[in-house]
Amino acid sequence: MKKGILLNSRISHVISKMGHTDMLTICDSGLPIPEETERIDLALTKGIPSFLDTLNVVLEELKIEEVIIVKEMKEVSPHMYDEVMKVLRRIEEKDNMQIKVVEVDHEEFKTVTKESKCIVRTGEHTPYANIILKSGVVF
């Protein structure tokens, strides 16, 4: 049995195939997912699993160097924005590195998701709780 924290075999498989700068998206339950992009749907009901729980677990497995978030999150869901920034700062401290944060408008974000290896849909009901994780390298 897998010893690591990430137990979802589909997410683990996607991460294992990712190379430098490949992207993985984690989204709330409302983000439209392009037909051509793999969907890993974790949503069970409102809030389960949460966006932040999913983000925290994925970041235990995936080394990132950059994230893309929706500009609107800062204004519409400031608490979520602050929590995401705390998670990123924790990862920076743990890995002794800097994570680039790129903010784009919601329409551009939806376009960029088409380049993701997959989109992980959560049960989150907080507006604009979406993030694209750009893979780094472990060396």
What dotted CATH number matches 9-32+50-135?
A: 3.40.1650.10
Q: In the structure encoding, which two tokens stand for residue 3, read together?
A: 């010893």
Is 20 marked active-site? Answer: yes
Residue 133 CA to residue 116 CA, distance in Å, equals: 9
Q: Which residues are annotated as a binding site for substrate?
A: 28, 106, 128-130
Residue 68 CA to residue 133 CA, distance in Å, equals: 7
Q: Which residues are annotated as a binding site?
A: 28, 106, 128-130
pLDDT band at 71 (very low <50, low <70, confident <90, very high): very high
Label the pairing between strands 23-27 and 118-121: parallel
Q: According to the model, what pLDDT value does residue 125 have?
A: 98
Work out whether the CA dihedral 75, 77, 79, 84 comes out positive or negative: negative
Contact 50, 124 (CB under 8 A): yes
Q: Taking the model in full, what pTM does it have?
A: 0.95
CA distances from 90 to 47, 56, 87, 93 (A): 23, 10, 5, 5
Residue range 43-55, pLDDT digits in tens: 999 999 999 999 9
pLDDT band at 2 (very low <50, low <70, confident <90, very high): low
Q: According to the model, what pLDDT value does residue 139 have?
A: 86
Residue range 14-26, pLDDT digits in tens: 999 999 999 999 9
